[in-house]
Amino acid sequence: MQALSHFFVVYYILGNNCYQTQIERFMSTVLAYLEDTYKFTDQAHVEYIGNDERGNYCVLDSTIFYPQGGGQPSDVGTIETKGIQISITFVGFVDGDVRHYGDFSSISLEKGETVTLYVDEARRIQNAKAHTSGHLMYTIVESLDKNLVAVKGYHFPDGSYVEFQGNPAFENTETFIAEVNTKISEALNKATSIEAALITPEELAARWFNIPSNLPPGKPLRVVTIDNLHPTPCGGTHLKSLTELKSVVVTKAKRQKGNLKISYKFD
């Protein structure tokens, strides 16, 4: 099994924010989306209403909204309360809180009041497709060329890519891209399932070696595994199966600021 020394670098960049803050309960918000990508509605309770340079926002005791980070855009949708639907245009981590941005100025909400959350299903699935496609692509690239290590990902639908550090072992870029695309097609044709599970550093260490020594003991992390490709700590949203992807295609690879940037499209 490949060493995990770089997996945590990938998690910080490709998955989401530092797992120390991503997996555990934030100051006031439980991250319910970690448990189910396909949960598009839920109820929560208000912690407080605030305002910053981005606008009005609401902090809840739990959320199914994915906050932007780790190369993945935030969810959007609505929060309904007292017969009023408030459009949520952006969700982000700020000072340890998950802030749901919308026009809350027209309604009075007190701590503990119940609200209903509705995540835009089409956008959520599109973002999950982009993220899963990126994971599939970069794990295949790393399996084919041991000199390359994924360090940065952009899993937005407009121009998705992953950047790799290291000097490629291959000499012909077009041949390598063709090989990667062949492996991707083989994986998609296998109808492979995708597993996302919480695991402690101790459990991880029992299965793999070279775990970074600076991981805080007793803190859980979330590991995403696609078939027999190496598992990756990740806090993003993912599909249940590769059958939900019609295609994933590497379109180009080029050197950029010392890294190898590999772009991909998905459907």
pLDDT surpasses 90 at 75: yes
Contact 152, 165 (CB under 8 A): no
What's 262's domain CATH number? 3.30.980.10
66 lies in the same domain as 188: no
Q: Of the residues 90, 119, 148, which one is the last residue of a structural domain?
A: 119
209 lies in the same domain as 138: yes
Residues 226-243 have a mean pLDDT of 86
74 lies in the same domain as 50: yes
In a domain, 2, yes or no: no
Rounded to a whole number of angstroms, the CA Rg of the chain reads: 19
**pTM (predicted TM-score):** 0.85
- Which pLDDT does position 226 carry in this prediction? 87
According to DSSP, the residues that pair with 84 across neighbouring strands are 81
Q: Of the residues 65, 91, 119, which one is the last residue of a structural domain?
A: 119
- Pairing type for strands 248-256 and 232-233 reads unpaired
Point out the least confidently predicted range of 11-15, 153-157, 202-206. Answer: 11-15
pLDDT surpasses 90 at 5: no
49 lies in the same domain as 154: no
- Which pLDDT does position 215 carry in this prediction? 57
107 lies in the same domain as 137: no
Parent domain of 209:
7-17+124-266
54 lies in the same domain as 139: no
Q: What is the mean pLDDT of the chain?
A: 85
- Which pLDDT does position 218 carry in this prediction? 56
Contact 78, 55 (CB under 8 A): no
Look-up of token digits 């995990």: 4
157 lies in the same domain as 251: yes
Residues 32-45 have a mean pLDDT of 95
pLDDT surpasses 80 at 247: yes
Q: Of the residues 66, 86, 119, which one is the last residue of a structural domain?
A: 119
- Greater confidence (220 vs 129) lies with 129
pLDDT surpasses 50 at 11: no
Other CB atoms within 10 Å distance of the CB of residue 107:
15
84 lies in the same domain as 128: no
Count of structural domains within the chain = 2
In a domain, 1, yes or no: no
254 lies in the same domain as 162: yes
pLDDT surpasses 70 at 154: yes
In a domain, 176, yes or no: yes
Contact 16, 236 (CB under 8 A): yes
162 lies in the same domain as 246: yes
What's 51's domain CATH number? 2.40.30.130
Distance between CA 255 and CA 101 in Å, rounded? Answer: 37
